[in-house]
Amino acid sequence: MTNTSADAGPSSEFTFELVTCRWAEREWPPDGPRADAALVARQVGTRKRRWDTLVVEADAAGLRERDRLGSEELDSDLLHVVRHAPAEWAWYRDGLPHPGYPWRYVREAVHRAAARGVVETRRRGNRIELRRVAPYPDWVSRIVAIENKPDLDASAARALAAQIQYDVDCGLLDEVWVATRATDDAVPAVLLEEFPVEAGVLALDPASGTMEVLWHPSRLSSSGEDSADRRRVIAERAYGRGWRSYVDTMRPDCRHFELTEVGGAFVPYCAAKGRCQTGAECAGSCTAFEPEPPGWRTRGWPIEGGPGKGVRRVLARRRDRVRERERERE
């Protein structure tokens, strides 16, 4: 299941992104000791912007409280219900503030929340009453975005500058970084000049998984309840998805799908192509796709259910181990 070929090096922005996520999981923050827990996710964002790598710094005690509400993300509708659910039984229209949209959608969210076990409900006559299971904690300390551009030349820097400026100005992030591939040459000043001075720059060696700070970022600020609500939604998406969720959009049930270690990260490797594939390549439309032979799914441990299921279990176990470590951080 795991390929360790010397030819399995980082050949795409996708692989570079996964190595960045693993580096952040191990080494965050890049400029000092870690004070808070850190959760790392990829391809998380809003309607206007999706970030390559997102680091959510969290109070460890608050993270433990958040874990009481399950390991899945809470979307904006569920957050409205869970955050405002009363401590004592109340009709949901009395117990929750008006959401600004029709109550029938709130009722649907209440039922979904009850099915997830994050609130309790009961019926009194024709009314649905609810009460909270646990208070929703204030667990998020900071949200940091990292844009990954391994091959960053002057034209690429100019094209990226507007996106980085949006990240600096959007009022949702506490820090913004750009990660590029480390080289033996000094980074040309023009690359740094293209970006807002508030954005930091990192140089990653994807083969070793080591990072160097080329430019330190400024601390950004966010204010207003709208920003606070949107930050909670972003943090919830990061909490529920993590960065190993790449396997959910790929085809680990293909007989050619393997994992290989690059820069300390398990990344997908295609035996048919003889290299690390991209997320877009690894789909049912791939001409090299071949389903796992049925016999592979009956061999028992450690690949019971087939190698594809084994890949998912390996990644899930690693995610759980990291989450447990961060929960116990003091």
Q: What's the CA gap between 138 and 136, in Å, rounded?
A: 7
Average pLDDT over residues 129-155: 93
Q: How many CB atoms lie within 10 A of CB 306?
A: 21
Burial of residue 312, with CB atoms counted within 10 A of its CB: 0-12 exposed, 13-18 middle, 19 or more buried: middle
pLDDT value, residue 302 = 53
- Contacts of residue 77, defined as CB under 8 A and 6 or more positions apart, other chains included, come to 99, 105, 106, 108, 109, 112
Average pLDDT over residues 96-108: 95
Q: How many CB atoms lie within 10 A of CB 225?
A: 7
**pLDDT tens, residue by residue, 116-126:** 999 999 999 99
Sign of the C-alpha dihedral computed for residues 84, 86, 92 and 98 taken in this order: negative
**Residue 293 DSSP code:** P
Q: Which helix (H) or strand (E) holds 320?
A: helix 307-327
In DSSP terms, 144 is beta-bridged to: 55, 175
Stronger pLDDT, 330 or 54, i.e. the higher one: 54
Average pLDDT over residues 247-255: 91
Average pLDDT over residues 30-50: 91
pTM over 0.75: yes
pLDDT value, residue 1 = 52
> Quick one: CA torsion of 39, 44, 46, 48, rounded to 10 degrees?
130
Length of the chain in terms of residues written: 330
Average pLDDT over residues 55-77: 95
**pLDDT tens, residue by residue, 161-211:** 999 999 999 999 999 999 999 887 666 665 677 889 999 999 999 999 999
Q: What's the CA gap between 70 and 118, in Å, rounded?
A: 8
pLDDT at 257 over 90: yes
pLDDT value, residue 7 = 46
> For residue 294, what pLDDT band results from cuts at 50, 70 and 90?
confident
**pLDDT tens, residue by residue, 71-95:** 999 999 999 999 999 999 999 999 9
pLDDT at 66 over 60: yes
175-181 and 200-205: which strand pairing?
parallel
pLDDT at 130 over 80: yes
